[in-house]
A and B are shown apart, each in its own frame.
Chain A
């Protein structure tokens, strides 16, 4: 979230370190007073003292639902085992990759990240043992490291899971571009695994060191995807809309990239959906050819994996959401769906999902392209008959909002699975029964939601806490500060941010902090003060008073 914090030159920095050591104080370089106040005002008591006027302000019930926390009940364990069945059935023995859709040997970075989520959950929930985990992950990391990249830059959008070749949409060998959103999710999960299981740190760092970030993220932190037009020309275009964009940016951020533009919510507007003001991306879909889907998935993944915290928040307290707006936006998307159920009686848990018939994939949204509860294909065709309760959305909502409504959702989806195949993709809202399709993403997110109940925020900072005396920089970090590593510039690797009290980092010799060019950030004027809380009315005034 920090845009190009400039490092003090090495000597100044060393001096600071010495000073800090003398005073036995952490070097406070980046905790402005404002930030402290924002943090403090999150404490309810202080908020009441500071802002008496806001005490009676309208808030959404969702804001007060706690997250679920505790050991899994036998029923929930049974669900976890059912979901894991998908990965038992769909892992390819030759590559260690998992089919994104049941029996269809193709996958993406996004779906592979969901597999990593499932694998982590299966191990932590003791569905598989360490031996099985290691056997699977060693093979997977080997394949990931050997993948042939798109234009030698980033992983292609799709790979064949049997041959590990890059493929086009028809699963024929070829290359079609890369997706910054998919890669963002993969980076997030590589980070989570690196933190949880440090023994995989080197192989993970090697994968990321092999990627070329030149075109995927620019100086202002905007994320770009790549596509190939019919004339075989490659185009790099801004990718991601509110929700997905910020989630993917959080993945890049974990590796040190400054993603200021990608991480800000602007531009957005609010839609009145059953009295809840739901934020949506206000870029015009007609001009950009990207639809502004509002779905549960992006917000719930941020909640499960990041705990709706800022990227550098190492605290694990479940009641403290340090991200300035993510929890608030997530609450709105949740509340609109609960309200829809309360008012119309339609159980609602919306996300993107596969279908077992044409058009095979739809964005089943809370809002998109100007309409509430819009269900559209990626081409923008309106297909309301395919609206469904997405099982991953239902499960994620269940984990993140402990409410009678999510109890009802879990009762609904509990047994929507098939022996040996995992959970169905969804249950049609119009009563047509289950969507008889099985995917890695759906079952992976369900497993990750169950793990969240047991362990809380899934990103558990562990190995690289620079505050600990035993801190040792990882391969990635060592390489980034190596002034003589030519690929740092060539591959647009980030300028490492130094965490404030980096005593041990300071003690290193022979390395230098690579500084960002002096005027890198001046092009991005809108990236100041990213931590300012977003203050928006949660409820449409027209609902409360005419």
Chain B
């Protein structure tokens, strides 16, 4: 006995180390357990059995009609004389992405009868003329952002492919549904060397027929979802691009959250408590181009994860699928922006990555509300009522600490309009949605207001 005791005593330092190892190992196991499971899959994503029935188009409610007009007010307030619209309330810059939002908002406003045919035609014509007049960068492609009043490029970078894809959506809709603008759209597209859009990546391999589409690492819209959304438009540029954009990057990485596998977009926090999900590109696909099996299924899975985590029964934290998009750095170079004093510029840490600003956004709430109508999406939309800013449009959403993110921008307000159009008319780009019951002649004693 004594020898064991003495032995233990003399081995105490080794024992301590062993126990330390065990504790450390336990922690690692625990963390591993907390991490969502990640799998790489090459299988396609197919519709699950519980995919909900598609909602029927229905009339708007009175409230919805007012909400749509509130959203449209943003574009009234921010239209420049040249026919384009600020990306952010009162800030005179725009990107091709935000211009896509504007044109889609205009199409929606026409569909919802907020603006007359005449105003629609004038706005669209002015926007296309101004887009055609944009100075292009070397390579005959537009820049990523412009001063909205002077049309000077703000940065020399060429517009990201995803932004151009977004602008192509409304241009495509115009060609199908509003043929009076089709010629102008073709002329505009002829100005830009879209064929060169994806050839700036890796060098052309001798035996590879096409490049793989590589997105820049720092592209804030570089995720799988955006890729999927953009590919639907970009593939129409030409065969080479079509092949490039439709190749999946390297198999799809999936991450399993609450037993549901969704595309892995990385982790937002080192502890893995907050896996990254991005919903916007899937939602935009649904509202504008219509779901395909892949985007529809992914959107549905993301919604299920969110839905499971919002109920009172769930003790797991809600997962945000929205990350605040900051205005580009160069926006501080805009006239009217207060430049920072030099010392402050140096002391300031580099801007936090976008990934640290999750929020629950107005645009997602409205999109869920339009695409999957159930009690959860209804609550989401209800929750966003405080975002209505009379006379200005809709604010972005709630910050994670539940304070209001009072940024007002073209994207949010466009998505509100698109969602309401989806409710009453279905997706925006559609060949068989054009039929509508014969319009009853308006009663003679009803006037249409135009203030």
Contacts and interface: CB of A to CB of B under 8 A. Distances in A.
Interface of A: 58-61, 269-275, 277, 282, 339, 341-346, 370, 372-373, 538-546
Contact of B451 (A59, A373, A538, A540): A373
B113 interface: yes
A275 B445 contact: no
B66 A270 contact: no
27 contacts: A59-B62, A60-B62, A61-B63, A269-B446, A271-B446, A271-B447, A272-B448, A274-B449, A275-B66, A339-B69, A341-B391, A342-B388, A344-B391, A344-B451, A346-B391, A370-B447, A540-B446, A541-B440, A542-B113, A543-B112, A543-B113, A544-B59, A544-B60, A544-B424, A546-B111, A546-B425, A546-B436
B390 A275 contact: no
B178 to A, nearest CB: 14
B112 A546 contact: yes
A373 B61 CA distance: 24
Contacts of A346: 391
A282 B445 contact: yes
Q: Give me the 7 closest cross-chain CB pairs, A-B, nearest first.
A: A345-B391, A269-B445, A543-B65, A544-B59, A545-B59, A343-B69, A345-B390
A343 B390 contact: yes
Contacts of B63: 61
A544 B446 contact: no
B391 A339 contact: no
B436 A372 contact: no
B424 A545 contact: yes
A543 B61 CA distance: 9
B392 interface: yes
Contacts of A58: 61-62
Nearest to A339: B66
Given A60-B62, A343-B66, A542 B449 contact: no
Contact of A539 (B65, B439, B440): B65
A344 B393 CA distance: 9
What does DSSP make chain B's interface, helix, strand, loop or mixed? loop
B442 interface: yes
B79 interface: no
Given A345-B73, A539-B65, A273 B60 contact: no
Contacts of A272: 446-449
A470 B389 CA distance: 58
A339 B447 CA distance: 17
A505 B190 CA distance: 92
B70 interface: yes
A544 B65 contact: yes
A369 to B, nearest CB: 12
Contact of B391 (A60, A343, A543): A343
B61, B66, B70, B391 — which one has the most chain A CB atoms within 10 A of its CB?
Answer: B66
B60, B388, B440 — which one has the most chain A CB atoms within 10 A of its CB?
Answer: B60
Interface string B60-96: 1111011001100100000000000000000000000
A277 B446 CA distance: 8
Interface string B380-403: 000000001111100000000000
Interface string B417-451: 00000001100000000001001101101111101
Given A274-B66, A539-B65, A546-B113, A345 B392 contact: yes
Nearest to B437: A545
A154 to B, nearest CB: 35
What does DSSP make chain A's interface, helix, strand, loop or mixed? mixed
B111 A270 contact: no
Contact of B442 (A274, A542, A545): A542
A273 B449 contact: yes
Contact of A275 (B65, B389, B443): B65
A541 B113 CA distance: 10
B69 to A, nearest CB: 5
Nearest to B71: A343
Given A58-B61, A543-B62, 5 more contacts: A271-B447, A345-B392, A542-B442, A543-B112, A544-B62
Contact of B70 (A61, A342, A370, A372): A342
A53 to B, nearest CB: 15
Nearest to B389: A345
A66 B402 CA distance: 30
A282 B444 CA distance: 12
A274 B69 contact: yes
Contacts of B62: 58-61, 275, 538-539, 543-544
Contacts of B66: 274-275, 339, 342-343
Contacts of A269: 445-446
Nearest to A405: B390
Contacts of A541: 440
A269 B447 CA distance: 9
Contacts of B390: 341-345
Contacts of A343: 66, 69-70, 73, 390-391
A270 B65 CA distance: 18
Contacts of A345: 73, 389-392
Interface in B201-249: none
Contacts of B65: 275, 539, 543-544
Nearest to A540: B446
Contacts of A540: 446, 448
Contacts of A59: 62
B446 A270 contact: yes
Contacts of B446: 269-272, 277, 540
Contacts of A546: 111-113, 424-425, 436, 439
B424, B446, B448, B449 — which one has the most chain A CB atoms within 10 A of its CB?
Answer: B449
Given A339-B66, A343-B70, A345-B391, A545 B60 contact: yes
Contacts of B447: 271-272, 370
Nearest to A543: B65
A34 B320 CA distance: 58
A271 B448 CA distance: 7
